[in-house]
Structure 1
Amino acid sequence: MDISLIIPCYNEAPHLRQSVLDLCEILDATAYDYEIVFVDDVSKDETRQVIEEICARTPRCRYIFHEQNRGRGGAFKTGFAATTGKVTGFLDIDLEVAAHYVLPLVNLVLHDGVDVATGDRHYLLSQTHALVRTAVSWVYRGVVRASVAPGVKDSETGCKFFNRETCSKLVFESESDGWFWDSEVMARAVLAGLTIRELPVLFLRRWDKQSTVKLGNDIQKYLFEIHKFRGKVGLSISGKSPIYWSGAGYDLVMAALYGEKLANIYAAAAAHVPDGASVVDLCCGTAQLYRRHLAARGCDYLGLDFNAQFVFGNRKHGIPSRFFNVLKDEIPAADYVTMVSSLYHFRANADELLSRMLKAARKGVIISEPVENWSSKPSVLGKAAAWLSNPGVGDYADRYDVSSFEALAKAHGAKIISAEGGRNALAVFEK
């Protein structure tokens, strides 16, 4: 199946028949194998009867009826799970964004290698009676762009198309089912480093359709959802030490704490990576391993971190980085998988994590871990140091010493273990 077009429906009866005719006319003129799947979200009008009528006479159309209202995001996820199209997307069936935009968006995914293709709405000046809503929409877009999805012009457009192979995880891991889903899925696409293309589209508001948007109430809900989402992806300053609020602040504090030893830590880890090797750097922070050593040696580098501030900061410097949850996301394959000064955050899951790192690495795993820690000392200074090292995810108080780190490394077959009186111990696992 080339295209699966999902149509989330809620009280769409008045315009449903004509809109489907317009869509089928466009899609039938192509050589693409396509299907249209209606997902009715417990409409209160005759939408279900109209859908059944359409599907009875249109072989390419089928339907799914929700038993409970879930919202647009929930309806799309239901449709996505029930379809197989190489390109799977949705279009608001009121066609305020016209049917003829479907093919250009689909072609961006099928032929141009784009992961997510969506519209960037433009308005006619003649629609001045919608000035307030249009202004609110522009402001909200700016808030989303500034707070969770840098580079995205219009996160809310009611037409989005996804490369199923690269975006399935993105779609199913999105948590919102309501209107915030649009913002969330675009933000997650940015964080994942997916290729996004926005096509300018003309938005023609239909005045024969009653809007379900309640400006005051919905704005408040959206802002609250943005705040929650920022916390989930490490963009919020709440719940973590000030050290992790920005990349510049983090680098400054690390330099002050480690002094000259900091350079030695990264140099020791980099010494075991051959020139030109591919490297996946878990909990990469500000990508110092790459900046100090691997970039000059032609390594193919990918930095992964839970802190989106670090991810966005690295990208501004041209360093490939993406948002990553070490505890549940699949580690990408590479010649070498590295981790510097972060394993203690996952000490309760260290054996399982190390096994996953070894599975992903083709040639070796390199771990440099602090074994001389103020935060492990039972004192006021120790407690303060522990709090300062809280990244907002995982543990931060239970640290390794030389013996416990060596025991873990040897249990997994480390070939080289060194702890030469410095702040960090180094374990190298060769395959």
Structure 2
Amino acid sequence: MSTDLFKETVGTSFIYRNRTVYELTMRGLYGRHYGARYRAIAGIVPDGASVVDVCCGPATLYSGYLRAKSVTYTGVDLNARFIAQVVRAGGHGEVRDLHAHTPLPGGDYLIMQASLYHFLPEPAPIIDRMLAAARKQVIIAEPIRNLATSDNRVLAAIGQRFTNAGDGAQAHRFTEATLDELIRGYESRIVERSLIAGGREQLFVLSA
């Protein structure tokens, strides 16, 4: 095992080390709304577009929903295992520390799904980098109801403890109010805003 992979494995929560575990966890969290959260995003992206999926995870959005639309897909993630799955699915993948202030790959659509909280307490710079790299639109879908913000202390502790994607434990999450406050700074760019996945996630589409 390489030193980098060893560090990633030690620091990363169990659900981020295995695609099957990750998918089962997401299915458990979203229940019957699991597919709807991907369809909402895929429905915005036209056939043949170029897509950069930031914090792409195991590329479920691509393999299950975008590949049939013949998009040119690039997945970017810190997790080397997930990027290997992107490549096996037929996309292009880049292992990258997204906290480093370097330009993102360019594409028609820059997408981030359920990962903006990883950039708290200062998430605006990653949005700005996505806007700079997008030729058409930036699509952000972020949970506003989740275990980590539960009033139940036990559930909240579980949500915080087991969502380390390899860049450290994330104690904070967005609420609808705090996410609205952030996006208000991009008001002039908002093309669409809606609740998806049974109200668990808020979707924003920003013009590039």
TM-score relative to the length of structure 2:
0.91
1:261 is the counterpart of 2:33: yes
Partner of 2:109, secondary structure, is: strand
Q: Give the structure 2 partner of residue 418 of structure 1.
A: 194
Instruction: Flag the structure with more relative contact order, 1 or 2, with Cα contacts below 8 A and sequence separation at least 6.
Output: 2
Q: Give the structure 2 partner of residue 382 of structure 1.
A: 156
**1:392, CA displacement in angstroms?**
2.1
Q: Give the structure 1 partner of residue 22 of structure 2.
A: 250
| Runs of at least 5 residues in structure 2 that lack an aligned partner in the other structure | none
1:286 is the counterpart of 2:63: no
The answer to whether the Cα contact below 8 Å between 2:191 and 2:205 also exists between their aligned partners in 1 is yes
Could you report, residue by residue, the CA deviation over 1:168-198 in whole angstroms, capped at 9, with x for unpaired residues? xxxxxxxxxxxxxxxxxxxxxxxxxxxxxxx
Mapped to 2, the partners of 1:395 and 1:278 lie a distance apart of: 32
**1:423, CA displacement in angstroms?**
1.1
1:341 is the counterpart of 2:114: yes
Mapped to 2, the partners of 1:369 and 1:254 lie a distance apart of: 14
Mapped to 2, the partners of 1:272 and 1:340 lie a distance apart of: 13
1:18-417 to structure 2, matched below 5 A, reads 147=1, 226-227=2-3, 229-232=4-7, 234=8, 236=9, 238-328=10-100, 329-377=102-150, 379-394=153-168, 396-413=170-187, 414-417=190-193
> How has the CA–CA distance of structure 1 residues 419 and 317 changed in structure 2, closer, same or farther, with 3 Å as cutoff?
closer
* Ranges of 4+ aligned residues in structure 1 off by more than 3 Å: none
Mapped to 2, the partners of 1:361 and 1:395 lie a distance apart of: 29
Task: State the AA in 2 paired with 1:252.
Answer: L
Considering only CA atoms, is the larger Rg found in Structure 1 or Structure 2? 1
Residue identity (%): 36
The answer to whether the Cα contact below 8 Å between 2:74 and 2:93 also exists between their aligned partners in 1 is yes
Q: Number of residues paired by the alignment?
A: 203
Could you report, residue by residue, the CA deviation over 1:126-145 in whole angstroms, capped at 9, with x for unpaired residues? xxxxxxxxxxxxxxxxxxxx
Mapped to 2, the partners of 1:362 and 1:304 lie a distance apart of: 17
TM-score relative to the length of structure 1:
0.45
Mapped to 2, the partners of 1:365 and 1:244 lie a distance apart of: 25
**1:426, CA displacement in angstroms?**
0.2
Could you report, residue by residue, the CA deviation over 1:354-394 in whole angstroms, capped at 9, with x for unpaired residues? 11110000101000101001212350221012112121215
Partner of 1:369, secondary structure, is: strand
Mapped to 2, the partners of 1:387 and 1:287 lie a distance apart of: 23
> How has the CA–CA distance of structure 1 residues 347 and 267 changed in structure 2, closer, same or farther, with 3 Å as cutoff?
same
The answer to whether the Cα contact below 8 Å between 1:368 and 1:427 also exists between their aligned partners in 2 is yes
Mapped to 1, the partners of 2:132 and 2:169 lie a distance apart of: 24
Quote the RMSD (CA, aligned, Å).
1.6
The answer to whether the Cα contact below 8 Å between 2:163 and 2:169 also exists between their aligned partners in 1 is no
> How has the CA–CA distance of structure 1 residues 392 and 293 changed in structure 2, closer, same or farther, with 3 Å as cutoff?
same
- 368-377 vs 335-344, which deviates more? 368-377
Q: Give the structure 2 partner of residue 58 of structure 1.
A: none
**1:330, CA displacement in angstroms?**
2.1
